[in-house]
């Protein structure tokens, strides 16, 4: 009897075939992760400490030489500044605008699907095609925007060819691209909040819509807000398409961002070691921003 109980208490081993099947199912994803993400990242880290140039027969280990050059490179400092300014404009504007639109659409009784599709359209559109459309809209002479301004007696600027307006113009395009994606996320978050909570808050004295938003909607929207802030910040920091198509970093590097600098150094000047150093700095900046916003927002998030 005791032997039977002892046998019953022993943990059962899973069949070898079941473990092998699980391994075979995860193997393709593991190989893809290794080849497409881990190995290229490790290669970029190694190249960042070399003087490797595409096509050069030799490669030398130079340690922190590329990073010392970065500190003295005015072009890199300018692209870093442009990236941070662009992010500081696009992130709060696209999140705030998307949240406001989501609250308005959620309050509607009909047409929600139509508005959701209209605002989501820029997300599914080809970035190059949309950049070409913006190039026409912002053209200083034949563009519709300056034509409207001339009708009211205002001479519109050269939006994409002036150092004073090019970064702001690109930021507006970035807001337009991001607001639809954020809108859909906020609508999903608002839909998950039970309406009974708003009714209970109204019964408890929260008569105005602002009070119900502050006491009910905003706290329960915390997880969605954290996700939206993270995704929007990453997308803003890694902006590239609109710069490459519309301005190529000009005029006078007024619109050059980190990813475009990395691209030109690596694939125009073929300095892959220096480009890898910029990539490593870029990854560290993204990681720092993610940790910062997580430490600030995650403590205030209410996970229901």
pLDDT tens by residue, 222-279: 888 888 998 999 999 999 989 998 999 988 899 999 999 999 999 899 999 999 999 9
Predicted confidence at residue 289, as pLDDT, reads 82
In the predicted model, is pLDDT for residue 13 greater than 90? no
Q: Which residues pair with 214 in a beta bridge?
A: none
Tokens encoding 121:
């359209």
State how far the Cα of 230 lies from the Cα of 228, in Å rounded to an integer: 5
- By C-alpha distance, which of 181, 169, 89, 98 is closest to 134? 169
Helices (H), 152-271: 166-191, 195-203, 209-212, 218-220, 222-237, 241-242, 258-267
CA angle 33, 39, 43 (to 5 degrees): 155
- By C-alpha distance, which of 298, 269, 288 is closest to 56? 269
Domain boundaries, given as residue ranges, for the chain: 15-47, 73-300
pLDDT tens digit sequence for 106-152: 888 787 788 888 888 888 888 788 888 899 999 988 899 999 999 99
* pLDDT-derived band at 298, boundaries 50, 70, 90: low
Burial profile 161-185: b = 16 or more Cβ within 10 angstroms, e = fewer: beeebbbbbbbbbbbbbbbbbbbbb
More confident call, 16 vs 74: 74
* pLDDT-derived band at 170, boundaries 50, 70, 90: very high
pLDDT tens digit sequence for 69-89: 999 999 999 999 999 999 999
pLDDT tens digit sequence for 181-220: 999 999 988 888 888 887 788 777 777 888 888 888 888 8
Is 86:171 a contact under the CB 8 Å cutoff?
Answer: yes
53: helix, strand or coil: coil
Tokens encoding 209:
């819509």
HSE at residue 288, side-chain half, CA atoms within 13 A, is 8
Span of 35-49, 143-157, 158-172, 281-295 with lowest mean pLDDT: 281-295
Is 165:159 a contact under the CB 8 Å cutoff?
Answer: yes
In the predicted model, is pLDDT for residue 301 greater than 70? no
Phi, psi at 137, each rounded to 5°:
-60, -35
Predicted confidence at residue 214, as pLDDT, reads 83
Tokens encoding 200:
């209970």
Helices (H), the chain: 2-9, 16-33, 39-47, 65-72, 74-107, 112-124, 127-137, 144-151, 166-191, 195-203, 209-212, 218-220, 222-237, 241-242, 258-267, 272-297
Predicted confidence at residue 69, as pLDDT, reads 92
Q: Domain 73-300: state its class.
A: mainly alpha
* pLDDT-derived band at 300, boundaries 50, 70, 90: low
C-alpha distances (whole Å) from 266 to each of 38, 44, 175, 260, 280 are: 20, 11, 28, 10, 13
Other residues' Cβ atoms within 10 Å of the Cβ of residue 266: 20
Calculate mean pLDDT across residues 11-24: 73
Calculate mean pLDDT across residues 278-287: 90
């Amino acid at each position: 009897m005791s032997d039977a109980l002892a046998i019953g208490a022993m943990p059962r081993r899973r069949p070898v075939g079941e473990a092998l099947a699980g391994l075979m199912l995860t193997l393709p994803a593991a190989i893809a992760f290794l080849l497409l993400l881990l190995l290229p990242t490790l290669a970029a880290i190694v190249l960042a400490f070399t003087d490797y140039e595409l096509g050069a027969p030799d490669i030398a280990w130079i340690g922190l030489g590329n990073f010392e050059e970065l500190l003295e490179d005015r072009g890199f400092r300018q692209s870093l500044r442009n990236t941070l300014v662009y992010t500081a404009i696009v992130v709060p504007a696209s999140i705030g605008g998307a949240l406001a639109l989501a609250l308005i659409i959620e309050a509607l009784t009909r047409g929600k699907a139509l508005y959701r599709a209209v605002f989501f359209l820029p997300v599914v559109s080809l970035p190059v095609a949309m950049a070409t459309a913006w190039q026409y809209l912002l053209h200083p002479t034949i563009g519709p925007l300056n034509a409207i301004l001339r009708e009211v007696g205002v001479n519109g600027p050269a939006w994409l060819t002036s150092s004073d307006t090019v970064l702001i113009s690109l930021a507006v395009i970035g807001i337009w691209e991001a607001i639809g994606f954020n809108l859909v996320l906020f609508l999903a978050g608002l839909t998950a909040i039970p309406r009974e909570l708003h009714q209970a808050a109204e019964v408890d004295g929260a008569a105005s819509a602002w009070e119900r938003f502050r006491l009910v909607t905003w706290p329960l929207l915390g997880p969605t807000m954290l996700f939206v802030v993270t995704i929007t910040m990453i997308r803003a920091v890694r902006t590239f398409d609109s710069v490459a198509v519309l301005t190529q970093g000009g005029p006078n590097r007024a619109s050059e961002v980190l990813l475009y600098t990395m691209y030109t150094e690596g694939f125009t000047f073929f300095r892959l070691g220096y480009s890898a150093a910029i990539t490593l700095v870029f990854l560290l900046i993204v990681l720092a921003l993610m940790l910062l916003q997580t430490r600030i927002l995650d403590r205030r998030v209410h996970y229901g």
